[in-house]
Amino acid sequence: MTSIRSTASEMSAALAAGTITSVELTEAHFARIEDVDSDVHAFLYLDKAGALAQAAESDAKRSRGEAQSPLSGVPLALKDLLTQKGIPTTCGSKMLEGWRPPYDSTVVAKLKSAGVVILGKTNMDEFAMGSSTENSAYGPSHNPWDLTRIPGGSGGGSAAAIAAFEAPLAIGSDTGGSIRQPAAVTGTVGVKPTYGGVSRYGLIAFSSSLDQAGPCARTVLDAALLHEVIAGHDERDSTSINAPVPQVVKAAKKLDIKGMKIGVVKELQGDGFQAGVLERFHDGLDALVSAGAELVEVSCPTFDYALAAYYLIAPSECSSNLARFDSMRYGIRVGDDGVRGAEEIMNLTRHEGFGPEVKRRIILGTYALSSGYYDAYYGSAQKVRTLLMRDFNAAFAQADVLVSPTAPTTAFKIGAIEDPLAMYLNDIATIPVNMAGIGGMSLPCGLAPEDGLPVGFQIMAPAMRDDLMYQVGGALEATLLAKWGAPILDLAPVLAAK
């Protein structure tokens, strides 16, 4: 029996078999959202009319016997930084309150043409800057495992929506871990594809050279199905890779990793990692060995500098990317009294419209790019990036994929981390992947014994070999599921309707 707790591939099969319609499935999800989202606050905007129309269209096509993509009629939640024509897109910022983009991002265009039903837009840290959704101008999202805890960030809304069964699939974006860390702390699967694998056209930029949209799901196969819908070369994104999309669905179904070499990154364990996180990570390693893979220890010494370099490159790019929010053409406008000049109104608007973390990064980036400081900061950070790539290349010469815990801790309490630098440490294991432009996945590997909260297992693959992480992820998931006897989300507290 299909329910909101089914996986996307189960829903897809039920739709194909005609045991449920997309309209029914969509309505069931809206009912669930109605029941729990006042607690979870995963969504910033619901497009009930648009979603039901899309669902009805998918049903109609199916009844006419027209060819359907596998995910046609399956609902999805969209992170609020991808433009969808006519639908409010805020990026979690007051700055864009009320803005309705006049165009579809490439990801949204691909979802629409695949018949995927977009339920609404999910909460996020403002302009994707944060690890907890506490930086959203519209209030934080809550972790379905414990509503007093964060669901990760920046894509906490997307991860929480999936973990709370408000949607089987979601789109996130990952600049330094914003898909993978939320997946880790909510017991879900999140994938950051190879940079250039998914078009950035219509993805509101935080840091252009690091941003990448990707799939969020409850299983590796579901993530793969969504991955294949949104990936591919796009002429509108010059940094998009013109090469065939890796066959990730096929890889996720393989369930065979015998003889594969798994590189365990020496620098991404030990100090700073919660004991229970490391314990479950080692369970994951054991599962891989039991599935026939071989472990090798690899060293990536430059990883120690990745976080510092990231916090120069990302703020530098963001200081320029966010300059366009000046109230002249769209978004809010503050202080336009007919007397003040344009410059003053720009100042007042940016003062009101941006939150403290965004301002902190704009100031940091402006400083790093300033004449006289450029070489020392931005220039050096780019060199670190080159060195990181060399480390990865050397490691991939020894192993097919690399692994580490996704995040150093399980979900922390909302409000618990006030120091921005302490918050940045959440991404210590995910950032090297973005800096090198390769692919990364997080999937659940158990619950930490000390707090009973989910732990994420990260798999990293060489550029455009996203299939390898799906292959390893699929096999690991199957091995752990056999051990546990039930999906990890079955252990999460049941969120009751109010």
- What residues are annotated to the active site? 79, 154, 178
Position among 31, 60, 275, 323 found at the interface with other proteins (CB under 8 A): 323
Verify binding: residue 320, other proteins, rule CB under 8 A.
yes
Cβ 444 vs Cβ 455: under 8 Å: yes
Please select the residue that binds other proteins; options are 137, 163, 204, 264, rule is CB under 8 A: 204
Question: In this chain, which stretch among 200-208, 297-305, 406-414, 463-471 interacts with other proteins, using CB under 8 A?
Answer: 200-208
- Least distance in Å: CB of 97 to other proteins? 13
C-alpha distances in angstroms, 408 versus 103, 210, 350, 429? 38, 21, 34, 8
431 binds other proteins (CB under 8 A): no
CA distances from 446 to 393, 410, 468 (A): 30, 11, 22
Does position 315 interact with other proteins (CB under 8 A)? The reply is no
Considering only the stretches 179-187, 320-328, 383-391, 432-440, report the one whose residues sit in contact with other proteins under the rule CB under 8 A: 320-328
What torsion do the CA atoms of 367, 370, 373, 378 make, to the nearest 10 degrees?
A: 80
**Which residues in the 377-396 window bind other proteins by CB under 8 A?**
378
Q: Which residues contact 212 (CB under 8 A, 6 or more apart)?
A: 173, 174, 175, 192, 193, 194, 195, 197, 198, 200, 434
Instruction: Choose between 38 and 242: whose C-beta lies nearer to other proteins.
Output: 242
Kindly tell me which of 279 and 352 has the beta carbon lying closer to other proteins.
Answer: 352
Which listed residue (324, 351, 383, 483) binds other proteins by CB under 8 A?
A: 324
- Cα distance between residue 51 and residue 253, in whole Å: 30
CB 120 within 8 A of CB 46: yes
> Is the CB of 40 or the CB of 44 nearer to other proteins?
44
In the stretch 346-375, what mask flags binding to other proteins with x, by CB under 8 A?
Answer: x-------------------x--xxx--x-
Q: How far is the CB of 82 from other proteins (least distance, A)?
A: 7
83 is a site residue for other proteins (CB under 8 A): yes
Tokens of 314: 């990302």
67 burial via Cβ count (<10 Å: 0-12, 13-18, 19+): exposed
Secondary-structure percent of the chain, ordered helix, strand, coil, rounded to 5: 45, 15, 40
Applying CB under 8 A, the site for other proteins has a residue count of 46
The residue assigned the tokens 């007042």 is 348
| The one among 105, 135, 158, 430 contacting other proteins by CB under 8 A | 105
Sheet holding 169-173, edge to edge: 43-46, 117-122, 75-79, 169-173, 213-217, 189-192, 439-447, 454-461, 401-405, 261-265, 294-298
Name the residue nearer to other proteins (CB basis): 27 or 237.
Answer: 237
Rule CB under 8 A: is residue 342 a binding residue for other proteins? yes
Q: Which of 209, 272, 316 is nearest to 424 (CA)?
A: 272
Q: Which residue among 27, 237, 283, 357 contacts other proteins (CB under 8 A)?
A: 237
Q: Which stretch binds other proteins (CB under 8 A): 17-25, 338-346, 415-423, 472-480?
A: 338-346
- Contacting residue, 201, 303, 354, 396, with other proteins by CB under 8 A: 201
Q: Which helix H or strand E contains 294, and what residues bound it?
A: strand 294-298
The residue within the footprint of other proteins, chosen from 3, 16, 60, 236 (CB under 8 A), is 236
- Whether residue 456 contacts residue 427, with contact meaning beta carbons closer than 8 Å, is answered with no
Contact 106, 234 (CB under 8 A): yes
Q: Which of 2, 68, 239, 247 binds other proteins (CB under 8 A)?
A: 239
Using CB under 8 A as the binding rule, whether residue 311 contacts other proteins is answered as no
CA angle 497, 491, 152 (to 5 degrees): 80
CA distance 346 to 156: 30
Instruction: Decide: is 122 part of the binding site for other proteins (CB under 8 A).
Output: no
Q: Which residue has the tokens 């010494």?
A: 301
**In the complex, least distance from residue 353 CB atom to other proteins, rounded to whole angstroms:** 13
Residue 447: alpha-carbon gap to chain centroid: 21
Our finding on whether 326 is near other proteins (CB under 8 A) is: yes
Among 92, 95, 94, 86, residue whose Cα is nearest residue 327: 95
CB 147 → other proteins: shortest distance, Å? 31
Query: Minimum Å distance from CB 373 to other proteins?
Result: 10
Binding site for other proteins (CB under 8 A): 81-83, 89, 91, 96, 99, 101-103, 105, 200-205, 207-209, 235-239, 316-317, 319-320, 323-326, 328-330, 341-343, 346, 366, 369-371, 374, 378
